[in-house]
Amino acid sequence: MTELRIAIVGFGKIARDQHVGAIAAVPGAALAAIASRNASLPGLPHFATIEELLEKGPPIDAVSLCTPPQVRRAQAAAALAAGKHVMLEKPPGIGVAELDPLVAMAAEAKRTLFATWHSRHAPAVEPARQWLAERRIKSVHVSWKEDVRVWHPGQGWIWEPGGLGVFDPGINALSILTKILPKPVFVTAAELAFPANCQAPIAANLTLTDIDGLAVTAEFDFRQTGPQSWDILVDTDQGRMTLSSGGARLEVDGKVLAEAPDEEYRGLYRRFVELAATGASDVDLTPLRLVADAFLLGRRTVVEPFVD
Residue type, 132: L
Q: What integer pLDDT is reported at residue 77 of this predicted model?
A: 98
pLDDT score, position 261: 84
* Domain boundaries, given as residue ranges, for the chain: 4-118+264-283, 120-260+292-303
Q: Kindly report whether the global pTM for this prediction surpasses the value 0.85.
A: yes
Looking at CATH, the fold of the domain delimited by 120-260+292-303 is given as: Dihydrodipicolinate Reductase; domain 2 (3.30.360)
Catalytically annotated residues: 90
pLDDT the model gives residue 55: 96
Write out the chain's pLDDT in tens, 308 residues: 589 999 999 999 899 999 999 999 999 999 999 999 988 899 999 999 999 999 999 999 999 999 999 999 999 999 999 999 999 999 999 999 999 999 999 999 999 999 999 999 999 999 999 999 999 999 999 999 999 999 999 899 999 999 999 999 999 999 999 999 999 999 999 999 999 999 999 999 999 999 999 999 999 999 999 999 999 999 999 999 999 999 999 999 999 999 988 889 999 999 999 999 999 999 999 999 999 999 999 999 999 999 98
- What CATH class does 4-118+264-283 carry? alpha beta
Looking at residue 131, its amino acid is W
Q: Which pLDDT score, from 0 to 100, does residue 107 have?
A: 97
pLDDT at 119: 96
Which H, E and C letters describe the chain, residue by residue? CCCEEEEEECCCHHHHHHHHHHHHHCCCEEEEEEECCCCCCCCCCEECCHHHHHHHCCCCCEEEECCCHHHHHHHHHHHHHCCCEEEECCCCCCCCCCHHHHHHHHHHHCCCEEECCHHHHCCCHHHHHHHHHCCCEEEEEEEEECEHHHHCCCCHHHHCCCCCCCHHHHHHHHHHHHHHCCCCEEEEEEEEEEECCCCCCCEEEEEEEECCCCEEEEEEECECCCCCEEEEEEEECCEEEEEECCCCEEEECCEEEEECCCCHHHHHHHHHHHHHCCCCCECCCHHHHHHHHHHHHEEEEEECCCCC
Please tell me the predicted confidence (pLDDT) of residue 70.
93
